[in-house]
A and B are shown apart, each in its own frame.
Chain A
Amino acid sequence: MSMLEAVRTICSYVTGMIRKLSHASDRVTARGCDEHSRTDRICRQSGDHSRWAYHICAAMVVVSSVAAGQVDAAGRTVRVGVYQNKPKIFMDENGHASGFLIDLLDEIAAREGWTLAYVPCEWSACLAALEGGRIDLMPDVAYSPERDQKYDFHHIPVAESWSQVYANPRMQVNGINDLNGRRVAVLKDSIQQTVFEQYVRGFGFEVTIAPTGSLEEAFNLAANGSADAAIANNFFGNFFYQSYGLVKTPIVFNVVTLHYATAQGRNPDLLEAIDQHLGAWVQEPNSIYYTTLSRWTEKASAYRVPQSVYWVIGTTGGLLVVAVGMVLMLRSQVRARTKHLVQANGALRQSEERYRLISTVASDYMFSTRVDADGKLALNWVAGAFETITGYTFEEYIAHGGWRAALHPDDLAVDDRDMEKLRANQPAISEIRTLTKSDNTVWVRVYAHPVWDAVRKELVGIYGAVQDITDRKRAEEIREASERRLSLIFDTVSDVIYLLSVEPEDCFRFASVNPAFLAVTGLRREQVIGKRIQEVLPETSHALVISKYKQAIRENKMIRWEEVSVYPTGTLYGEVAVTPYWDAAGVCTYLIGSVHDITEIRRAEEEIRELNQELEQRVVERTRELEIAKERAEAADQLKSAFLATMSHELRTPLNSIIGFTGILLMGLVGPLNKEQDKQLNMVQDSARHLLELINDVLDISKIEAGQFELAHEPFDMRATIQKSIEKVAPLIEKKGLALTATIAPPVGQIVGDRRRVEQILINLLGNAIKFTEQGQVCIECDIEDDRLITRVADTGIGIKPEEMDALFQPFRQLDSGITRQREGTGLGLSICKRLVEAMRGKIWVESEWGKGSRFTFTLPIERTKT
């Protein structure tokens, strides 16, 4: 066969194909226009098919002439599974396989000379049939690593599909945040449901899922308001949303690539052929691929993911949120531009410019990195507030070392984890610190997504967005610090603190309690939280606390009271206070309570009371003891008196004989004495008298000290008393040849007191003066000054040494003991004088100069007689 012949043969074949194609197009167009009369544009466009057919023909001629061998295989029958997923693939009401994927397959089959046998089946049954070899090819299979284990896929995706949110028109949905608290209808147990749930949870939003049995039902719910929005794949959504009266939202997620799949290892020729055709068509904007796509969609451009991320679609196997979606979610104010973006019609440059527009208004930037020639990831594109956030220009940033170099040193590990995820073909979202050019720390939230080479199964790039969240972080840090402080107080304060939720019908439940509450009550947290107070507090206190709680709410103020509660840990005396908390709607939702433990105070009070009683008891006992002691002391005094009386008697009785008989002998009553007898008996008499004097003084001082003496209180003549005392000592004066002068002032006369005791003092002082004076004189003076009687007895004797003054008035101290034997006396005289004077409320003292003499003075208060 000559080359020319061959070409002619091929051309006739192609011409037949064109006719066939035109016919098919018309059929589809007719039906499409019937069902979607609004899509006039699509109907008009379909008329262009024949023009494309010629182009294809030309291409096919080349292909066929190069690979002539394949023409032989063209006669084979290919069994194709068909399930219901309008408008991609479905059986129409006439039992014909139809839809975007079917049309493309028909096109390929026509060129390859395959005979297509369509096998209707449920989705899962279709896949089972594919595995079981009952069908050869299954359209509309999204690539996933799992499926890659079971099936073979051609390389160039036939389409990219994603999930998109379509909303009721009353909703303003510009981002995922607008769905917070809303109700969204979604196909039950579908991959969309799983991904969407993860998606909203990841952002911390609460969205109610309304599961439906079909996409139509989901759209119905959104349309009639039972749901606020519905989720559908973009093919279904874009094809039907207007007919349901819904609006498209920019929320797009779960981008997958769609393929025709075969069972593993079987029919690789089919896949190869499909790749061959698709590869040619997608490069050519006017190819049959795009015309078919347009026919089955609202608008062709809506089916193109923006070219800037086109390479992602080509390689990614992930179920990821596209960067567009993320940015939109972050910034609802860019809605208008987002619309442009979603509808962007494909030119790379245009799209990039649009991204810049989006990003420049926001505090975030977008980026992409690609594997460079060295196999390393390198930043190759940024857009948006990059310079604002980093402080670098793109070139400076690269020169500085890029992303990694600008990270906060403490957060490198976070980035390492992110990279690990990305290398496992998983998205990474993290909050991380970066350093600006001027070395300021900026908190950013990074949304990074892998660009995955599904064939080589490796990461070939990353794209994503970076948002400045410094302000939020700072606010969070401040709030967290504040919360930590509050929680520290709550957890460590020794007082019990609790929060009660107020429910209808006087029901109060523990919403929160601090550790002190658990420590005091001995209960575990789970025994308290969520429990009614009746289940927690001792029964005895129920009525009281409920009445107090109600009072606090009624009077809207803090109520305090004291309470005794018996817990397993013991009895608690508490000072309780509750305060009502009112919400914005004016409803009392909580009561805040505290209990100050006053058990110790009460115990201390109890102890004090007991101690008081004990003390009182002890006072009673002590009083009794003292009474007994007093009785004993009185008995002892009586004994002492008896003893002194006995001593006095017993000592005087023998002295009576001694002095008496000596006196008789000296008187010569018995007979005349010779001179020596007389002398010695005089000595006996002197000694006996001295002994008597001693006994008298000892008894005297004993009596004074024992309280066994009384002072007389009667008028007497002081002048006469002095004179009498002088008379008593006169013999001694005469004997020593001293002069004695008495100077008694005229006022001195009758006074009231104890005459005998005053006389005793006078004789004692005069006797002492005489005793210690060898020559010179003894003077006695008496006068009245103010209300005191002053009596002085002065001598010119040996005087008293200064160091001996102190001991002078103490008992048994006769000064200068060396001369004691020369001076007769008991050593008790001055001691007795002092005691007597003081008993009479007077004073006695001495002035003296050693070797020159002494002067004793005593005073007595005067009580004048009434004359």
Chain B
Amino acid sequence: MGQRKQIYLYLADRKDKDMKATVLVIEDNEKNRYLTTFILEKQGYQVFQAEDGQAGIALAHQIKPDLILLDIQLPVMDGYAVARELRQNGELRDVPIVAVTSYAMVGDREQVLAAGCVGYIEKPINPATFVAEIEQYLLARKPTGTQEVRHE
């Protein structure tokens, strides 16, 4: 149960620094959207949700989130396209996008990073470590390169 203690430590740090961080969750599966939102809101994040890529981009323009959690397999417009679109937008260019995906094929990770994501979290997520993982990307708000968090 040492791990759990560690998470608390992180959360404590986060709370102290920026309680009002805004996270946009773009996820088509309602249950998973709820799961992520629940975990993040429990930790004090302001969470916005979008059901598809198109809606996600529109919302991102609207709310200018601190972090975007992006599912790859989405209806209408897939995650790669969303990431590429966001990366071309001046305002949102620096907003870290972390892919949260059940894709696990060869080259998936490379493709994700190439599309403009800063990180990659494989589903299923571990609620115990999930917040700690995304914290890294929030802390590195100004990206100097790609950095990955391994779900291991």
The minimal Cβ–Cβ distance linking A341 to chain B, given in whole angstroms, is 131
B124 touches A652 (CB 8 A): yes
CA distance A708 to B103 in the complex (A): 13
A660 & B104 in contact (Cβ 8 Å cutoff)? no
- Contact residues, B1-29 vs A (CB, 8 A): 4, 29
User: What CA separation (Å) do A661 and B32 show in the bound complex?
Assistant: 9
A516 to B55, CA, bound (A): 98
In contact, B128 and A663 (Cβ under 8 angstroms): yes
CB pair A657–B4 under 8 Å, yes or no, is no
Please, which residue of chain B has its CB at the minimum distance from the CB of A688? Answer: B124
4 A-B pairs besides A652-B123, A653-B29 with CB distance below 8 A are A649-B102, A652-B104, A652-B124, A699-B104
Within 8 A of A (CB), among B95-117: 101-107
Q: A648 touches which one: B32, B35, B42, B105 (CB < 8 A)?
A: B105
29 cross-chain CB contacts under 8 A: A644-B105, A648-B102, A648-B104, A648-B105, A649-B101, A652-B104, A652-B123, A653-B29, A653-B32, A656-B35, A656-B102, A656-B123, A656-B124, A657-B31, A658-B124, A659-B127, A660-B32, A660-B125, A660-B127, A661-B127, A664-B38, A664-B39, A669-B39, A669-B42, A669-B127, A703-B105, A703-B106, A710-B106, A710-B107
- Contact at B103–A648, with CB atoms within 8 Å? yes
Asked whether any CB of chain B lies closer than 8 Å to the CB of A645, the reply is yes
A641: nearest residue on chain B (CB-CB)?
Answer: B105
Q: Nearest chain B CB to A316's CB is how many angstroms away?
A: 131
Q: Name which of B32, B104, B126 has the most chain A CB atoms within 10 A of its CB.
A: B104
Interface status of A692 (Cβ within 8 A of chain B): yes
B29 and A663 within 8 A (CB) = no
Find chain B residues with CB under 8 A from A650 CB. 102
Give chain A interface residues in 671-695, CB to chain B under 8 Å.
688, 692
Q: Which of A644, A655, A663 has the most chain B CB atoms closer than 10 A to its own CB?
A: A663
B116 to chain A, nearest CB (A): 20
Task: Give the CA-CA distance A692 to B105 in the complex, in Å.
Answer: 15
Closest to A658 in B: B124
Tell me the bound Cα distance from A708 to B104 in angstroms.
Answer: 11
- Residues of chain A contacted by B105 (CB below 8 angstroms): 641, 644-645, 648, 703, 708
Question: Is B46 interfacial (CB 8 A cutoff)?
Answer: no
CB distance from B38 to the nearest CB of A (A): 7
Q: Give the residues in chain A near B36, CB-CB below 8 Å.
A: 660
Note all chain B residues with C-beta closer than 8 A to A688: 124
Interface 0/1 of A709-732, CB less than 8 Å to B: 110000000000000000000000
CB distance from B18 to the nearest CB of A (A): 21
For the complex formed, measure the closest distance between the CB of A679 and the CB atoms of chain B, giving whole angstroms.
15
CA distance A175 to B38 in the complex (A): 151
CA distance A699 to B29 in the complex (A): 22
Q: Tell whether, in the assembled complex, residue B103 and residue A649 are in contact, meaning their CB atoms are under 8 Å apart.
A: yes
Hey, which chain B residues are within 8 Å of A663, CB to CB? 126-128
Report Cα–Cα, A652/B36, bound state, in Å.
15
B43-89 interface (Cβ within 8 A of A): 73
In the complex, whether A6 has a CB less than 8 A from a CB of chain B is no
B123 touches A653 (CB 8 A): yes
Are B42 and A656 in contact, CB atoms less than 8 angstroms apart? no
Interface centre among B4, B35, B103 (most CB of A within 10 A): B35
In the complex, which residue of chain B has the Cβ closest to the Cβ of A661? B35
Residue of A641, A644, A645, A655 most packed against chain B (CB within 10 A): A645
Using A652-B123, A669-B42 as known contacts, say yes or no to A660 and B35 having CB atoms under 8 A apart. Answer: yes
Q: How far is the CA of A660 from the CA of B33 in the complex (A)?
A: 11
Judged by a CB distance under 8 angstroms, whether A639 is at the interface is no
Contacts of A699 in B (CB 8 A): 104
How far is A644 from B104 in the complex, measured between Cα atoms in Å? Answer: 9
User: Would you call A667 an interface residue if the criterion is a C-beta within 8 Å of the partner chain's C-beta atoms?
Assistant: yes
Give the shortest distance, in Å, between B25 (CB) and chain A (any CB): 13
Closest chain A residue, CB of each to CB of B122: A652
Interface centre among A658, A664, A688, A710 (most CB of B within 10 A): A664
Closest 8 A-B residue pairs measured CB to CB? A663-B127, A652-B102, A656-B124, A656-B123, A660-B35, A659-B124, A649-B102, A657-B31
Residues of A within 8 A of B103 (CB): 645, 648-649
A57 shortest CB reach to chain B, Å: 165
Residues in A neighbouring B102, C-beta threshold 8 A? 648-653, 656
Of residues 618 through 671 on chain A, the ones whose CB sits less than 8 Å from some CB of chain B are 641, 644-645, 648-661, 663-664, 667, 669
Cα–Cα, bound, A664→B128 (Å)? 8
